[in-house]
């Protein structure tokens, strides 16, 4: 076993929102039952006060840390930060991570079977929002007997969920750590998501979203969506360093259209790899949820929207992130300051772009570890 | 500035700040002063710091610190939202000192400004004799690499406040390293100056709710 690893973990499943207690979504539609896939790491203490909810990003899942099987090549998506002695120290805290509603990694989403029809939902799956994802997580907490979260954290879309938690359930959240995130999806962010969705929907194999029965999903469209998105996760500097103009497996130009640049080969690889684990319709739904996200919208201003927030905040951004700019994190910090909310902000110097939230481990481990120790001290959590 | 001198200045500041005050420390560095204010005065404190290393260190002390540039102002804070706004050993590095000082007086009921006094006799003597800019203990750099681009004297700061009608409530002067507190000829004898200024909200009738 790796040092500081949570080891072998098992993904758990629970059915929530059994009819007639279906979940009422932002769209007005109702859905239930909803299966939620989740994992937990560490031990819940006697007074149930050391629970931390980790929220995943667009392509993430419930498997945040450790390995599901001895043979797994890779650990969970946030294994660098979650484990004994790590930033989210599982020897002290009880961490939970659940696949979001609309997902394709065990929680109910468009690829799940609609119990009424016996067929996969496809596009008949209702459109969900970040607030809907949080509603499902809140119900999961009820199921787990957790009434108060010591912290909610996540990067990117995970940070959006953390923010939403502090607004929708202020009494339940002691602290929040949104990382490389924003209080609203920017026009530029929406633009890239639109390109991704169009790539999928214009793949003839997408078939209006009803591709499940044909055994021939729209992999090209999904791969293309991922390639575009992946560019937004990097930075000009990181791409220059990693690939430059170097060619892959050849010395000089071939004067043809074979894959020839290293960056080209990398993007193809990332696109294809993604299609092996991700559902195209889920990509549509989750990017749509991100695009709808705008905390300020219903209240006129972000400061107004964050008025009831009581959680202590640590906001983290990365200097080279151009998908979720540090300026967007500073907006969150400003709105919290206006409301006299206890907030810390760190802008980590990094060339990795948006991906930095998964890669800049050392700085984040210290920041988050120390911040959580402070929260634990303040609230007598042991 | 020597560690000992810094500590002496901290002692003065901790002494001045009232118990349970809400404190904003601008340029809080590793948060040592804030941590002392919280531990010794039960202050509720928050800091602003430009450097990532400072922010890391301050958070490690359990403090709330926002990484940011003071020269952008303090627009997010409401008028009079702090009992004390502290600018200790940071004034000399600001690009927009007037903006920052005005903002301090707006958001703080009291403002505290601590800076190295370039009017000290040793600095004057050095310039007079050698023709080179002084490198007194509190200004360890040369003219080309110092972050302290605002060199001022006690007399300068007094006239600055006088010209703007800023009310100086208290002055504390320190000599380095013995911590003497000269009251006569401070501009000649003190290495460090600490000024307490009255925030705007103090002089203004309280707004009715």
Domain ranges of chain A: 12-183+295-378, 191-287
Ordered DSSP codes for B97-111: HHHHHHHHHHHEEEE
**Range A12-183+295-378 has CATH code 3.40.50.980:** no
Which single residue is written with the structure tokens 């998501």?
A: A193
In the predicted model, is pLDDT for residue A316 greater than 70? yes
Beta bridge partners of B114: B88, B194
pLDDT digits (tens, 9 = 90+) for A85-108: 999 999 999 999 999 999 999 999
Between B52, B59, B66, which is nearest A349 by CB? B52
Domain ranges of chain B: 3-199
A378 chain-B contacts, CB cut-off 8 A = 62
In the predicted model, is pLDDT for residue A139 greater than 70? yes
A334 chain-B contacts, CB cut-off 8 A = 75-76
Q: Decide: A329 and A160 in contact? Cβ < 8 Å.
A: no
Could you tell me which of A268, A186, A285 has the C-alpha nearest to residue A230? A268
Q: What is the CATH number of domain B3-199?
A: 3.40.50.150
Which chain B residue shows the shortest CA-CA distance from A370?
A: B60
Interface probe, candidates B43, B66, B75, B82, chain A, greatest A C-beta count within 10 A: B66
Q: Decide: B51 and B31 in contact? Cβ < 8 Å.
A: no
pLDDT digits (tens, 9 = 90+) for B137-160: 445 677 888 888 888 999 999 999
Residues of A belonging to the active site? 156, 321, 354
Tokens of B32: 């040592």
Sequential pLDDT tens for chain B (209 residues): 678 888 899 999 999 999 999 999 999 999 999 999 999 999 999 999 999 999 999 999 999 999 999 988 798 899 999 999 999 999 999 999 999 999 999 999 999 999 999 999 998 998 999 998 876 544 567 788 888 888 899 999 999 999 999 999 999 999 977 778 988 999 999 999 999 999 997 545 444 33
Cβ-based neighbours of A152, under 8 Å, separated by 6 or more: A52, A53, A55, A161, A162, A165, A166, A173, A175, A176, A177, A311
pLDDT digits (tens, 9 = 90+) for A145-195: 999 999 999 999 999 999 999 999 999 999 999 999 999 999 999 999 999
**Range A191-287 has CATH code 1.10.1740.110:** yes
Cβ-based neighbours of B36, under 8 Å, separated by 6 or more: B10, B14
Residue B168 host element (H or E): strand B168-174
Distance of CA A302 to the CA centre of its chain: 22
pLDDT averaged over every residue in chain A? 97
Interface probe, candidates A318, A346, A348, A375, chain B, greatest B C-beta count within 10 A: A346
pLDDT of residue A323: 98
Q: Decide: A375 and A151 in contact? Cβ < 8 Å.
A: yes
């Amino acid at each position: 076993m790796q040092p500081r690893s949570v080891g072998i973990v098992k993904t758990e499943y629970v059915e929530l929102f059994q009819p007639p207690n279906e979940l009422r979504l932002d769209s007005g539609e109702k859905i239930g039952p909803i299966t939620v896939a989740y994992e937990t790491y560490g031990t819940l203490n006697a007074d149930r006060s050391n629970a931390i909810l980790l929220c995943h990003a667009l392509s993430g899942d419930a498997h945040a840390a450790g390995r599901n099987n001895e043979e797994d090549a890779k650990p969970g998506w946030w294994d660098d930060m979650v484990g004994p002695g790590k930033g989210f120290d599982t020897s002290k805290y009880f961490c939970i991570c659940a696949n979001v509603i609309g997902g394709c990694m065990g929680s109910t989403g468009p690829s799940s079977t609609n119990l009424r029809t016996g067929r996969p939902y496809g596009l008949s799956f209702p459109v969900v929002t970040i607030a809907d994802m949080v509603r499902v997580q809140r119900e999961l907490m009820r199921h787990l007997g957790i009434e108060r979260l010591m912290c909610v954290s996540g990067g990117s879309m995970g940070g959006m969920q953390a923010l939403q938690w502090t607004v929708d359930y202020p009494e339940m959240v002691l602290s929040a750590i949104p990382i490389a995130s924003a209080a609203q999806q920017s026009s530029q962010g929406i633009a890239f998501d639109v390109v991704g969705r169009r790539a999928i929907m214009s793949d003839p194999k997408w078939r209006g979203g009803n591709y499940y029965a044909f055994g021939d999903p729209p992999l090209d469209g999904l791969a293309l969506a991922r390639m575009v998105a992946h560019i937004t996760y990097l930075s000009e500097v990181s791409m220059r360093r990693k690939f430059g103009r170097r060619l892959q497996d050849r010395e000089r130009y071939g004067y043809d259209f074979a894959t020839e640049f290293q960056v080209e080969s990398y993007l193809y690889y990332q696109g294809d790899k993604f299609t092996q684990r991700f559902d195209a319709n889920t990509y549509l739904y989750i990017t749509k949820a991100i695009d709808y996200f705008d905390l300020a919208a219903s209240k006129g201003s972000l400061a107004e929207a964050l008025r009831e927030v009581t959680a202590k905040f640590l906001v983290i951004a990365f200097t080279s992130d151009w998908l979720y700019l540090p300026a967007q994190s500073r907006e969150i910090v400003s709105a919290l300051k206006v409301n006299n909310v206890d907030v810390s902000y760190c802008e980590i110097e990094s060339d990795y772009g948006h991906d930095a939230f998964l890669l800049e481990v050392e700085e984040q481990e210290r920041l988050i570890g120390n911040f959580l120790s402070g929260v634990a001290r303040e609230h007598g959590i042991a | 500035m020597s560690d000992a001198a810094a500590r002496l200045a901290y002692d003065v500041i901790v002494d001045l700040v009232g118990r349970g005050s809400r404190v904003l420390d601008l340029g809080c560095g590793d948060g040592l002063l804030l941590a002392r204010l919280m531990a010794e005065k039960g202050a509720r404190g928050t800091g602003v710091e430009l450097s990532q290393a400072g922010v890391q260190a301050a958070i490690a002390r359990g403090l709330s610190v926002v990484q940011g540039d003071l020269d952008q102002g303090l627009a997010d804070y409401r008028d009079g939202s702090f009992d004390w706004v502290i600018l200790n050993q940071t004034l000399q590095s600001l690009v927009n000192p007037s903006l920052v000082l005005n903002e301090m007086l707006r958001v703080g009921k009291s403002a505290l400004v601590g800076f190295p006094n370039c009017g000290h006799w040793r600095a004057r003597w050095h310039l007079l004799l050698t023709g080179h800019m002084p490198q007194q203990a509190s200004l360890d750099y040369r003219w080309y690499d110092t972050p302290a681009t605002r060199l001022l004297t006690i007399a300068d700061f007094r006239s600055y406040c006088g010209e703007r009608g800023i009310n100086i409530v208290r002055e504390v002067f320190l000599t380095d390293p013995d911590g003497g507190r000269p009251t006569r000829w401070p501009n000649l004898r003190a290495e460090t100056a600490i000024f307490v200024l009255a925030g705007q909200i103090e002089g203004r009738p309280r707004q009715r709710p």
